[in-house]
Amino acid sequence: MSNFYVERTITKDGGQSVILVNENYQIIEEVALFLNYLEQKGRATNTIESYCRSLKEYYSWLSYENLKFYEVNQRLLISWLDFMHNQVGSPKEKSPRTVNKHLAAVSSFYRYYVDVKGFVVDNPFISSSDSTSNTQYYVQNINPRNVNFNMFRQKEPKKKNTLRLFRNQVEVLYNALNNLTKVKEINTRNQLIFRFMYETGCRIGETLGLRLNDYSEPDPIDDFGLIKLTEYTPLYHSDHKLKTGTRIIPVSMDLIYEIDEYVCNVRPQLDDIDTVFVNHRNTVGKYMIRNSIDDLFSRLSEVTNIKCTPHTLRHTHGTELKESGYSEVFIMDRLGHQSIGTTSKYMHISYDDQLAAYESFILSRRGSL
């Protein structure tokens, strides 16, 4: 069985790309074309890498079975499922979510080649109302938009919503940041990062990629300022990449003042670095990367015994907006979602707010009788 590796490369414009190579470091061209398609569609580098890692496992199975990807049919995919459970990662049964992630990635790979009419005309992962029992390639032309369901997708158990925080938890976490280190400047920066994510719902990449010209000037007359999330080329680091492009969001003027105070009086200055948030030790003044934030939130969760990640703050922000009556359309735009369906997943409304809304509904109904 051949070995395959996921590698990141630098493009001509200074950006990053992802490729799959074999043990001789030869690029797997059909995968490269598919990943380039995802890049052209504007998918984030981390998302493309996730697809590539699933295809790495799939190509390991193809090598194990001595198959070409265009030779696979639904009957053979039973072997792929077995390989996934027993030889991918740790040798234990994979969760339905993990299985479905790999299935979705590889199915998208086949769907791409069905659309461009290259190599295959049938997606072996999909059962279609138009398909017959004949699974040979180049026999029939199937429109991928007529497909009905994925033959191998597994049912995922519903999870309890544990992503949103409540106000008392937010206060505990925020205050704990002031004692997480003995360096006052670092604690000040960390509290600002926490507050920025909580009050804007920004992702890690959007927060770390924020630059000095991306927030409005402090103005004592106005109650609100603006944060502009901008896609820069080239980036300092791939961790700064925006997932859904440029947008402008309103924020409180208090937050603008706190950002400006940090930039003017606390932030180490380097002429060639203009991200708002920078390192305060080791590489002083240099831009921050995701690992630093992940480590920060891991230590914060351990100290407070409250599970919190940057994405938890994003969910909390969206939920609080919804609870306050903010339109889902505006929440979608503010959070940078591409569909209302994605926004609805962030709506973890508390019981008290549901009760208050229902009481209001009952009172309005009684008034109309």
Domain ranges of the chain: 4-150, 169-323
Distances (CA, A) of 200 to 26, 31, 60, 125, 171: 44, 37, 42, 40, 16
Task: Please check whether residue 358 is in contact with residue 351, taking contact to mean a CB–CB distance below 8 angstroms.
Answer: no
Q: In the prediction, which pLDDT does 132 show?
A: 41
Model confidence, pTM? 0.59
H-only helix segments in the chain: 29-40, 45-65, 77-87, 96-115, 167-176, 184-200, 204-208, 253-265, 290-304, 310-323, 328-335, 340-344, 351-367
Buried/exposed 144-161: b ≥16 CB within 10 Å, e otherwise: eeebeeeebeeeeeeeee
Find tokens 């000095």 and name the residue: 212
Look at the domain 169-323 and name its fold: hpI Integrase; Chain A (1.10.443)
Q: In the prediction, which pLDDT does 154 show?
A: 58
The neighbour count for residue 286, using CB atoms within 10 Å, is 16
Determine the average pLDDT of the residues in 82-86: 86
Give the tens place of pLDDT for each residue, 267-316: 999 989 999 999 998 899 999 999 999 999 999 999 999 999 999 998 89
Determine the average pLDDT of the residues in 13-19: 78
Backbone angles phi, psi at 273, to 5 degrees: -125, 125
From 24-38, 123-137, 250-264, the region with the lowest mean pLDDT: 123-137
Determine the average pLDDT of the residues in 85-102: 80
pLDDT band, residue 138 (cuts 50/70/90): very low
Instruction: Tell which CATH classification among 3.40.50.620, 1.10.150.130, 3.40.50.300, 1.20.140.10 matches the domain 4-150.
Output: 1.10.150.130
Give the tens place of pLDDT for each residue, 23-42: 998 999 999 999 999 888 87
What distance in Å separates the CA atoms of residue 25 and residue 102, rounded to the nearest whole number?
A: 23
Q: How large is the angle between the packed helices 77-87 and 96-115, nearest 10 degrees?
A: 140
Give the tens place of pLDDT for each residue, 324-369: 777 777 788 888 766 655 556 555 555 565 556 556 655 654 554 4
H/E run at residue 21: strand 16-22
